[in-house]
């Protein structure tokens, strides 16, 4: 997901501008290992091209508890028949801090090779490779001291910013 896709260039947050805030970072979402690409935008201006400073500023995600307790997803079969049924909810991984780090390392490998890995959406490897080649920083949140230490060590080993 790209945060800039949800940016409404036809509105101006008047109260924010009155407080002197003219430029903001837009997060693509939360509660996911990788939630998408963050953006940097100006809150006022005459054209979209003038207001969007960076439509892809960061690769954003989380290894915090919020990312490890995401609900499952359900893809109903079409058409649903009596022999197939309505399908079952599939759990999203990871559920533990170690699982989050393993998944993050898989994403680092995908960014390096450009190849997809089973369990991730098609094309993720190519997109991550393009973003890392463009030197986009990773912005991964962590809430507790163990999460922060684990995350710092994972990035140190990977060589990513």
**Domain coordinates of the chain in residue numbers?**
3-158
- What pTM does this model have? 0.79
For residue 41, how far is the Cα from the chain centroid?
Answer: 18
* Axis crossing angle, helix 145-158 with helix 97-113, rounded to the nearest 10: 20
Closest Cα partner for 127 from 114, 112, 118?
114
Say what the alpha-carbon torsion angle 74, 75, 79, 85 is, to the nearest 10 degrees: -40
Among 2-11, 67-76, 146-155, which is the least confidently predicted range? 67-76
Each residue of 35-50: pLDDT tens digit?
999 999 999 887 878 8
Whether the predicted pLDDT of 12 surpasses 80: no
CATH class of 3-158: alpha beta
């Amino acid at each position: 997901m790209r945060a800039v896709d949800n940016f409404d260039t036809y509105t101006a947050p008047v109260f924010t501008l009155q407080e002197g805030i003219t430029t903001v970072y837009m997060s693509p979402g939360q509660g996911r290992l990788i939630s998408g690409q963050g953006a940097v935008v100006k809150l006022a201006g005459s054209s979209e091209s003038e207001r969007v400073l960076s439509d892809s500023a960061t690769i954003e995600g989380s290894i915090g508890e919020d990312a490890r307790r995401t609900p499952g997803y359900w893809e109903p079969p079409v058409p649903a028949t009596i022999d197939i049924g309505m399908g079952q909810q599939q759990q999203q991984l990871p559920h533990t801090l170690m699982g989050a780090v393993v998944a993050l390392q898989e994403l680092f490998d995908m960014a390096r090779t450009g190849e997809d890995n089973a369990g991730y959406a098609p094309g993720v490897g190519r997109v991550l490779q393009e973003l890392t080649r463009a030197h986009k920083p990773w912005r991964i949140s962590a809430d507790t001291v163990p999460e922060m230490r684990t995350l710092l060590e994972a990035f140190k080993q990977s060589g990513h910013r």
